[in-house]
Amino acid sequence: MSATQAKYERLLQDLRADLRPQRAWGEGRGIFMVLGHFVVGIAAGAWLFSLYYESRAGLATAFVLGLLGGLAHLVNLARPKRFWRMVAQLGTSWISRGFLGLSFFLAGAFLYLVPQFVPEAPWGNGSFLAASGYGLALLGMLILMGYMGFVYSASKAIPFWNSPLHPALYVAYALRGGVVALLLVQAFGAGSLAGFSELLLWWTGITAVVIVLFALEVHGALSGGNEAARRSVRELFAGRVAGYFYGGTLALGLALPAWLVWAGLSGPLSLQAMALLGLASAVGDFFMKYSTIRAGVYLPVWTRVAPQR
C-alpha cells in the first residue's frame, strides 16, 4: 500500500470514529509547527532574561533561535513562497499575529544587536535605530510569548486545547526556556550578571508554576463533562502519546533537571552538569508541547439523535 493510500485509509478510519484524533500538527510536515512554537518560545524567554542579566551572548542566541523558529514555520507551509498570507488575517488569526510578532522581534533584535557586536556599524548603541530596535524587539517578544497558547486555545473543535489556562501555560514555558537558554550560554563560557544559583531558583519557581497550571488544566478537562477532552487526557496518560509524556516530559524534562537543581543548590555543580540540566529541561519542554498537541481529539463530527418515542 502506498503512503497516499495509507493516509487516505487512516483518514476514513478516523472519520468513522466518534472521537477523531487531530493529525494536522505533530505528524508529517506538521511537526515543524510544533518545533517552530517550541523554538520561538525559548527565543522570547531568552531575550527577556538576557536583557535583565545583560548577557550579549544570550541576546545573540535568542536572535538565532528566532530565525530558526521562523524557518520551521516556513517549512511547515505546503508552499513556503506564500508565507505573506500568514499576515493577511491579523484580525482573526493568532498565527498571523504571531508571524507579525516574530517579524517585529527579528527586525528589532537585528537593529539592537548590530552595534553591540560591530563597533564600526553605521549606527551606535545609543542611536535612534538601536533604541527603536530595542523597543520593537521587546514588543515582538511579548507577542511571541502570548500568541502560541492562544493559537491552541482558539481551537474550539479540540476541547483539550480550548482552555483559558493554555496561554498562561505557554508563557510559563517561554520563561522557563529563557532560563534554560541562559544556563546553557553560561555553561559554555559566556558571562552575564546572573549567578548559577539564581538561575536555578528561577527554574524551580517557574517549574512549580508550570506544574500547577498543567494540573489545573488536566483537572478541568476531566471534570468539565466533555468526552473529547477526557479522551485527550487518556491519550496523554495511557494512550498513543503516553511514552512521549512519561519518558520525554516527566523523566527527561522534569526528574533529571530537578535532581540536578537539587544537587546544584546543595553544592557546586560542574559546567557539564549545568549544560545537561539545560538540555534536558529544553527537551522535556518540547515533549510536553508535542505530547499535549498530539493528544488533541476533535469533537464528534456526527451527533447522535435520541430515538423518538
**Per-residue pLDDT tens for 242-264?**
999 999 999 999 999 999 999 88
Torsion region of 225: left, alpha or beta (phi above 0 gives left; psi -120 to 50 gives alpha)? left
Domain 22-294 architecture: Up-down Bundle (1.20)
- What average pLDDT does range 206-234 have in this prediction? 94
Higher pLDDT, 221 or 195: 221
**36-91 pLDDT, tens digit each:** 999 999 999 999 999 999 999 999 999 999 999 999 988 877 665 666 666 666 77
Rounded to an integer, the average pLDDT of 224-234 is 90
Looking at this protein, which amino acid is placed at residue 124? G
Are 222 and 14 spatial neighbours (Cβ–Cβ below 8 Å)?
Answer: no
Please state the φ and ψ torsions of residue 218, each to the nearest 5 degrees: -65, -40
Give the C-alpha separation, 86 to 72, whole Å.
14
Categorize the per-residue pLDDT at 305 as very low, low, confident or very high, splitting at 50, 70 and 90. very low
Instruction: Write down the residue that cell numbers 507551509 correspond to.
Output: 77
The domain segmentation of the chain, as residue ranges, is 22-294
Cβ neighbourhood burial of 299 (10 Å; 0-12, 13-18, 19+): middle
- Residue pair 97/65 in contact (Cβ under 8 Å)? The answer is no
pLDDT in tens, 10-39: 555 555 556 888 888 888 888 998 999 999
User: Binning pLDDT at 50, 70 and 90, where does residue 236 land?
Assistant: very high
Helix axes 166-187, 271-294, angle to 10 degrees: 160
* CA 154 – CA 10 distance, rounded (Å): 26
CA-to-CA dists, residue 235 to 35, 238, 252, 292, angstroms? 21, 6, 20, 9
Exposed/middle/buried for residue 281 (C-beta within 10 Å: 0-12, 13-18, 19+):
buried
| Three cell numbers, residue 201 | 531558583
Q: Does the pLDDT of residue 3 top 70, yes or no?
A: no
**In this structure, what C-alpha cell is assigned to residue 27?**
505528524
CA 307 to chain centre: 45
Residues 190-205, mean pLDDT to the nearest whole number: 84
Residue 83: per-residue pLDDT: 63
Please write the tens of the pLDDT for every residue from 82-122: 666 666 667 777 888 888 999 999 999 999 999 999 988 89
Q: What is the pLDDT of residue 259?
A: 94
